[in-house]
Amino acid sequence: AQTVTQSQPEMSVQEAETVTLSCTYDTSESDYYLFWYKQPPSRQMILVIRQEAYKQQNATENRFSVNFQKAAKSFSLKISDSQLGDAAMYFCAYLGGADGLTFGKGTHLIIQP
């Protein structure tokens, strides 16, 4: 079974600084997708960014980018120019042959003003 590990239960960053959230996963599949979801206090799950494993180029969405290392099974999220609205729980998720997402335990991101 696939597993997703987020080793940082909590991270804190100063507003306007850059922060990187870590995620590693374990799989024997060669074709899969990886996602970062944001969950603010409202509990809504919001897609931040997605990466297809067959693509070598790292995905980017405005201030959000990933560092996808397929051989190392690592998928970190970098948030540049952190804003107060970025404060939330961030979940790394894996999608492979089975259709359901496998989530990590999450990282609580705190933005210090």
Partner 1 sequence: DAGVIQSPRHEVTEMGQEVTLRCKPISGHNSLFWYRQTMMRGLELLIYFNNNVPIDDSGMPEDRFSAKMPNASFSTLKIQPSEPRDSAVYFCASRRTGGRLQETQYFGPGTRLLVL
Contact letters (x/-) for partner 1, 15-34, by CB under 8 A? ------------------x-
Gap between the Cα atoms of 83 and 40, Å rounded: 13
Instruction: Give me the residues paired with residue 10 across strands.
Output: 108
* Options 28, 30, 42, 56; binder of partner 1; rule CB under 8 A: 42
Nearer to partner 1, 85 or 100 (CB): 100
From start to end of 7-54, where are the E strands?
10-14, 19-21, 24-26, 33-39, 46-52
**52 touches partner 1 by CB under 8 A:** yes
Number of residues that bind partner 1 (CB under 8 A): 22
